[in-house]
């Protein structure tokens, strides 16, 4: 199934001068004093396309989000899924996005919803971000990005962690549940996998 929107052009290779400048900035400023980043350190692997609100609600039900959960969205956009997770009863959430604009929006939306103090905002590449304390991981990415992430999910997510993907599957990793959802992207799939659980018959 195709993603509803076109993919961004491949990221340009970072230049050595750009990398040196980023390193110099990071060394120069302490975390608190550091000026807000205005452009991603590298181009996102997929552009922003929000999950429709009714599908976000379906994600929470499919993952059975509850007290004690630590919910990650790897590529969290405007923070809507992690905010919904806290509103559904999760204890904490982590919002990871490589685009500083998305992180700014997420912070503002979380503050407006009164849940910002329970979300950790991480402006970083999801492929190098630790998610070892997650109990629920949400992605809305692209087929090859799901496949690139899959080995890390198997290796680093704790047994019992629920993984939710909107639209795209994980290749031959059979989902524990698939649910059809209809929203702004038309009729699509929501997938649930449970780390360490036997594949369904």
Ligand X SMILES: C[S@@+](CC[C@H](N)C(=O)[O-])C[C@H]1O[C@@H](n2cnc3c(N)ncnc32)[C@H](O)[C@@H]1O
Contact residues for ligand X, defined by CB under 6 A = 44-46, 48-51, 73, 75-77, 80-81, 96-99, 102, 125-127, 140
Min dist CB 129 to ligand X, Å, is: 7
Nearer Cβ to ligand X (96/194) = 96
Nearer Cβ to ligand X (28/109) = 109
Interatomic CA distance for residues 173 and 163, integer angstroms: 12
Nearer Cβ to ligand X (45/69) = 45
Interatomic CA distance for residues 76 and 99, integer angstroms: 10
Min dist CB 157 to ligand X, Å, is: 17
Q: Which residue is nearest to ligand X (CB)?
A: 75
- Joined tokens for residue 95: 């919002």
Interatomic CA distance for residues 91 and 175, integer angstroms: 25
Min dist CB 201 to ligand X, Å, is: 30
Min dist CB 199 to ligand X, Å, is: 26
Nearer Cβ to ligand X (69/97) = 97
Spatial strand order in the sheet of 119-123:
119-123, 92-97, 70-74, 136-139, 162-166, 186-194, 177-183
According to DSSP H, which parts of 71-142 are helical? 80-87, 100-113
3-state secondary structure of 71: strand
Min dist CB 127 to ligand X, Å, is: 6
Phi, psi values for residue 78, rounded to 5°:
-90, 10
Nearer Cβ to ligand X (76/157) = 76
């Amino acid at each position: 199934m195709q993603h509803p929107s076109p993919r961004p052009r491949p990221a340009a290779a970072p230049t050595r001068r750009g990398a040196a400048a980023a390193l110099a900035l990071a060394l120069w400023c302490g975390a608190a004093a550091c000026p807000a980043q205005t452009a991603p350190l590298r181009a996102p692997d997929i552009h922003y396309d929000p999950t429709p609100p009714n599908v976000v609600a379906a994600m929470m039900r499919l993952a059975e989000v509850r007290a004690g959960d630590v919910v990650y969205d790897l590529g969290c956009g405007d923070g809507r899924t992690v905010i919904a997770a806290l509103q559904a009863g999760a204890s904490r959430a982590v919002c990871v996005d490589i685009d500083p604009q998305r992180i700014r929006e997420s912070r503002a939306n979380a503050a407006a919803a009164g849940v910002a103090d329970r979300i950790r905002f991480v402006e970083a590449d999801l492929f190098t971000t630790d998610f070892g304390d997650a109990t629920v991981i949400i992605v809305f990415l692209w087929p090859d990005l799901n496949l690139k992430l899959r080995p890390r999910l198997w290796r680093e997510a704790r047994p019992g962690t629920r993984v939710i993907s909107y639209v795209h599957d994980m290749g031959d990793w059979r989902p524990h549940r698939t649910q059809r959802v209809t929203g702004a992207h038309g009729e699509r799939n929501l997938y649930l996998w449970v780390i360490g659980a036997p594949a369904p018959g």
